[in-house]
Structure 1
């Protein structure tokens, strides 16, 4: 009976060991884990090395990104500067175009007046009903022109301004005379200037070219200098378009502007006020060439500049696309 119980316990133990082989030899399991530790240590070292490489990669990437940002900032700055310079060039081109248009119009107007002359200080209504007959008789009588010489006057009229009234009645409008030929006009002016003083009914009258209004305005700027020169009996004349030639005792000077003339005359001890005239067209052209250099610019934000540049590039591509 005792023997039979021992046999059953052995059978139960074997069955248990068969079902749980892991529990059958705890000593072997501990030895296996001990043998696995070197491989685990190697994996950890490799992982640490990979992490270190990742850190270095991130560091290098960050440095490269910083460099890229710096380059982008530099490029944006250069683009902004280029945009400002482009705006200056555009402004310059626009200003030059405006001034050159004025110069061209002034030149065309001057050429259209080449056959004209003006007679100043003729009393109002002295011409009667027929201005052309009055002017022809005036020229022949005052300048002693041979009756057989054809004057070739095309038309005449008073300057297109309101008739003076009140205190201005002693300043009559000039008479404009248009000749058929340029040489006829020049001959009349030559005779008038040679005679120097021409009178109509004991009233002195004056002959001159028919200048455009802009040229007349520039010539009027010499009025102060002319007044002083006349007082001092210093001979002078005013070449076209708006210059002043003065014949001093020791030399002859040609002045380009009223400011230059009055400044030099004042340095010579003449009692004249220095005149600061308005800008000439040439001076406007020179000033507006880089007028915006010190002025405000329309730089805007980075996005606005980028959008602006892209739009200009698109426009440029459309304009420069060759025909198919």
Structure 2
């Protein structure tokens, strides 16, 4: 803003000059040199001076008003100039922003277009993969369906085969037992006691020990069963004797059972039926049961082929397996004093083998392996029925 407050107007300076020029010479004289009339002139001069000062005060007020108006105008002009500059700068900023937005929008549009293309390609690949997976799943479902149908057929065939095998095994065991009806087994004869002629030794032994000297025994053949040589200290292999007639076999067997104690060189010898291996294993499973029954003082009878009859106080009961006897005796609380019976030896156990050969390889017996397979098939059939 212009500094008007320090500048005096020209008319004011001109009045001051005229005042000095028109001043009389007596005014410059000393007080001692002033004449008498100087007092009158000094009074008039004071009045003039007072009038001039009043006029100067008025002029100062007018001047200050003019100065304030000029400063307002200058301030308005400065504000207008500043507003114009701000508008110009805002227009430039707006122009720059529009340009940047245009550039950025173009870049974004380009990137979005590329992104859409890439995503479209990937989606096409995903759709292709899904179609491939769908085809594979359909093919797998078809194969699974075929396998399930085949599995059902196989289960039916296996179930039928299992039933047929059980029937055939039962018939085979019965035929084997019938072929051994005329046989007996003698246990406890040490190897070498028979000498060179086993049949003659057996005839003489039976007639002597059973008091059948005048009886024709009709022994067709006799031999020890085939098998691995027993270890030292164990029981010797039994002797199988085949009679020509069943009646003679029964006579010899009942005579031996009637005598109860038969010895050969102070060693006890036992006479028994010649059963197939399946029946023999089932009958041996009753051994711990028979021991408990003897301790309890109960009478029992082992029936053909592998059943046990127990005579309780309330009447006899016939059991078809050792497991049935164990369950019933457990219900009757008969194991408290005598102890529990051992497991059924006729049942196959995982990891249980019959014997160990010379090579150290343990092998299943034929009967144990067959029963193990049968149990697996029964479990397989049971699982199929529960589906």
CA gap 1:141/1:250 in 2 versus in 1, 3 angstroms: farther
- 1:269 partnered with 2:358: no
Partner of 1:167: 233
- Number of matched residues? 218
Over residues 126-161 of structure 1, what are the superposed CA-to-partner deviations in whole Å (9 max), with x where a residue is unaligned?
21221111111111122111x221100011112223
Is 1:262–1:275's contact at 8 Å kept on the other side of the alignment?
no
Is 1:221–1:258's contact at 8 Å kept on the other side of the alignment?
yes
Out of 215, 222, 225, the residue aligned to residue 156 of structure 1 is: 222
* Greater Cα offset, 136-145 or 157-166: 157-166
Partner Cα distance (1:102, 1:246) in 2: 28
Is 1:88–1:293's contact at 8 Å kept on the other side of the alignment?
no
Partner of 1:114: 181
Partner of 2:316: 252
Partner Cα distance (1:230, 1:123) in 2: 29
In structure 2, list runs of 5 or more residues that go unmatched.
1-144, 349-366
Q: TM-score, normalised by structure 1?
A: 0.57
Q: How much does 1:190 deviate?
A: 1.8
Partner Cα distance (1:188, 1:198) in 2: 13
Partner Cα distance (1:104, 1:198) in 2: 35
Partner Cα distance (2:382, 2:309) in 1: 37
* Greater Cα offset, 174-183 or 266-275: 266-275
Secondary structure of 1:226's aligned partner: helix
Over residues 22-66 of structure 1, what are the superposed CA-to-partner deviations in whole Å (9 max), with x where a residue is unaligned?
xxxxxxxxxxxxxxxxxxxxxxxxxxxxxxxxxxxxxxxxxxxxx
CA gap 1:87/1:166 in 2 versus in 1, 3 angstroms: closer
* Greater Cα offset, 269-278 or 284-293: 284-293
Partner of 1:94: 161
CA gap 1:220/1:290 in 2 versus in 1, 3 angstroms: closer
Partner of 2:172: 105
Partner Cα distance (1:200, 1:232) in 2: 32
- 1:241 partnered with 2:305: yes
Secondary structure of 1:159's aligned partner: coil
Is 1:118–1:209's contact at 8 Å kept on the other side of the alignment?
yes
Partner of 1:191: 255
Q: TM-score, normalised by structure 2?
A: 0.49
Residue correspondence of structure 1 range 190-209 to structure 2 within 5 A: 190-209=254-273
Residue correspondence of structure 1 range 1-324 to structure 2 within 5 A: 86-145=153-212, 147-168=213-234, 171-266=235-330, 267-270=332-335, 271-277=338-344, 278=347, 291-292=380-381, 294-295=383-384
Over residues 218-252 of structure 1, what are the superposed CA-to-partner deviations in whole Å (9 max), with x where a residue is unaligned?
11111211222333443323111112222344432
CA gap 1:292/1:249 in 2 versus in 1, 3 angstroms: closer
Rg larger in structure: 2
CA gap 1:293/1:243 in 2 versus in 1, 3 angstroms: closer
CA gap 1:245/1:203 in 2 versus in 1, 3 angstroms: farther
CA gap 1:89/1:127 in 2 versus in 1, 3 angstroms: same
Q: How much does 1:81 deviate?
A: 8.7
Q: How much does 1:96 deviate?
A: 1.9
Q: How much does 1:102 deviate?
A: 2.1
Q: How much is the aligned-residue C-alpha RMSD, in angstroms?
A: 3.4
Secondary structure of 2:281's aligned partner: helix
Q: How much does 1:284 deviate?
A: 8.8
Partner Cα distance (2:238, 2:382) in 1: 45
Partner Cα distance (1:205, 1:230) in 2: 21
Partner Cα distance (1:289, 1:165) in 2: 37
